[in-house]
Amino acid sequence: MAPRLLIVEDSANVTDALRALFEATGHDVAIAATVDAAVRACVAAPPDLMLLDLTLPDGDGLLVLERLRADGREAPPTAAMTGHDDPETAQRCAEAGCLATLVKPVPTRELLRRVSEWVGA
């Protein structure tokens, strides 16, 4: 079975590019553009990995992890993706349980390598 990725990002340009990249490399891809949609997607079909933007229209992306845990659900392995390259952001992501904080734009090869490591593909 193909590894299931949930990409949580509100930019259609970014999600279109990431969907094409990951589907071409054998992943099953779901997209969510808001915190609420991401929580619903995780409950409906838990992903093997979530790529999580931190700036979403309805709040901080890390709220997805917080809400899942508050409902007694296990949060999926998650990599934060953000344009903020500062120690405070990295610390918040680590404290929330993220595997890593990737600073956008993430080089394609690095992203593919990291995702492959995380999903065991």
pLDDT of residue 50: 98
Alpha carbons 9 and 25: distance in angstroms, whole number: 20
Question: In 3D, which of 46, 40, 43, 37 has the Cα closest to residue 8?
Answer: 37
Low-confidence ranges of the chain (pLDDT < 50): none
**pTM score of the predicted model:** 0.96
pLDDT of residue 121: 57
pLDDT of residue 120: 81
